[in-house]
């Protein structure tokens, strides 16, 4: 008897999702609770587990289809995958010169499960996915894996063999075709996450009176502090001491001094929070996500760094939950890890402000009347001017600057 696979409950107020990827094909053996499909919601990607062990039946929906909670997307048949596949497998066809192995150079092996975004990247760079070690869940490839492989130059050693596939011994290699006339286009449906991000960012621009204020900060003291204590910190707490911990704690202190930055507009009322739930932008294979560090004001540096590290790992393997993403009273986004010098971040409604961090670079600055070289970083605070005045925004950035340039302030709450 076939067991129906239904779309599980996705979270509060989430009623539908998009089928992002089939992880099991008809005839594949599946174990109980083994992921068989990936769903994309407005915020995260979720995996659908098999309700029972058996053989993957027919897919009821296609990749890209929108499905509602409780909808049947597939069936699980009784039996073992190997036996079923052996019975249904057709006799091997005679070998032909035009086989799949002789198709386009660099075309991914169909037996390897790739998400649409990873498949596009593999085709774009002409790499062999079987040569790349996957770091995603169950060893699956992520975009970061492919990008790192390409960056390392490892694919250069495989390009020649791939180009020679299907070429008879002694036959001349066809001349390279000029790329001058190639004007290929690809139309790809936006993921549900990207659609939601686009809609919310546009809503923020249409609704809030956005303004951005800048300041810069000398990172010398933080860099020296990290260098002095990083080994002891890692030994005691089992986690690296990063820059984000300093900025999260500095932000909590500044939010206490300037509470409007931690508030939000609800109709004709202002809601002030006496706690700091800090949303931190984390890079995931399908884009940036913003999980929330709850009650960050009550955490120490180790708690903050452990929480951020856990978010990073779970974002990479796709195990962040809806609960991880909900809420948040203030956001910190670190574009500096990608090399950004300066930006004007957009707030994440209903929050009223976002702090943008950027890359650290040596610059000439004047200190005590002398020109010196210091590691400097630009900070940007984008905020809703309906709620936060310019004076408050500047004061908030100055509080951050003071705490980062003199980390002792974080210990004595100044």
Q: Which residues are catalytic?
A: 385, 389
Omega cis (within 30) before 350: yes
**Is the separation of the CB atoms in 389 and 258 below 8 Å?**
no
Q: Where are the beta strands (DSSP E) in 254-411?
A: 264-266, 269-271, 278-280, 282-284, 287-289, 292-293, 330-334, 353-357, 361-367, 370-384
Helices 220-237 and 390-405 cross at an angle (nearest 10°) of 60
Residue 291 CA to residue 339 CA, distance in Å, equals 22
Dig out the tokens for 156 from the structure.
Answer: 């250069």
* SS3 assignment for 215-231: EEEECHHHHHHHHHHHH
Dig out the tokens for 345 from the structure.
Answer: 């971040």
Distances in Å between the Cα of 409 and the Cα atoms of 21, 251, 256, 266 are 49, 12, 14, 34
Dig out the tokens for 284 from the structure.
Answer: 């995931």
CB-count exposure of residue 263 (10 Å: 0-12, 13-18, 19+)? buried
* HSE value, Cβ hemisphere, 13 Å, CA-based, for 338: 13
Q: How far apart are the first and last CA of the chain?
A: 68
Residue 206 CA to residue 314 CA, distance in Å, equals 33
In the block, tokens 């979270």 appear at 11
Cα–Cα nearest to 354, from 323, 379, 324, 386? 379
């Amino acid at each position: 008897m076939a067991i129906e696979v239904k779309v599980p409950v996705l979270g509060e107020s989430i009623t539908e999702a998009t089928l992002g990827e089939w992880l099991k094909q008809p005839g594949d053996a599946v174990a109980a609770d083994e992921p068989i499909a990936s769903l994309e919601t407005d915020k995260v990607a979720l995996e659908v587990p098999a309700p029972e062990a058996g053989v993957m039946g027919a897919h009821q929906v296609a990749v890209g289809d929108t499905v509602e909670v409780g909808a049947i997307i597939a069936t699980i048949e009784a039996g073992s995958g190997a036996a079923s596949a052996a019975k249904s497998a057709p006799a091997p066809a005679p070998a032909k010169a035009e086989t799949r192995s002789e198709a386009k150079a660099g075309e991914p092996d169909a037996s390897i499960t790739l998400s649409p975004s990873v498949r596009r990247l593999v085709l774009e760079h002409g790499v062999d996915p079987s040569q790349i070690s996957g770091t995603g869940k169950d060893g699956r490839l992520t975009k970061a894996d492919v990008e790192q492989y390409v960056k390392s130059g490892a694919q250069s050693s495989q390009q020649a063999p791939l180009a020679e596939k299907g070429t008879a011994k002694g036959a001349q290699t066809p001349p390279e075709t000029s790329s001058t006339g190639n004007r290929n286009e690809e139309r790809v449906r936006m993921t549900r996450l990207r659609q939601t991000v686009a809609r919310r960012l546009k809503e923020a621009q249409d609704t809030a009176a956005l303004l951005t204020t800048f300041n810069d900060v000398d990172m010398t003291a933080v860099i020296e502090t990290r260098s002095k204590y990083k080994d002891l910190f890692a030994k005691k707490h089992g986690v690296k001491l990063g820059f984000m911990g300093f900025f999260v704690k500095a932000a909590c202190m500044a939010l206490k001094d300037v509470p409007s930055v931690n508030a939000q507009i609800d109709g004709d009322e202002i809601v002030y929070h006496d706690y700091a739930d800090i949303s931190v932008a984390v890079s995931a294979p399908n884009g940036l996500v913003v999980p929330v560090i709850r009650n960050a004001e009550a955490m120490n540096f180790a708690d903050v760094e452990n929480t951020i590290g856990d978010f990073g790992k779970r974002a990479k393997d796709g195990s962040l939950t809806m609960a991880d993403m909900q809420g948040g009273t203030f956001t910190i986004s670190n574009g500096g890890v990608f090399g950004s010098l300066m930006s004007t971040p957009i707030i994440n409604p209903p929050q009223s402000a976002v702090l943008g961090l950027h890359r650290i670079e040596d610059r000439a600055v004047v200190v005590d009347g002398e020109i010196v070289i210091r590691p400097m970083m630009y900070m940007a605070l984008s905020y809703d001017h309906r709620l936060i005045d310019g004076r408050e925004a500047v004061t908030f950035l100055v509080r951050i600057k003071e705490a980062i340039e003199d980390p002792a302030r974080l210990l004595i709450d100044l």
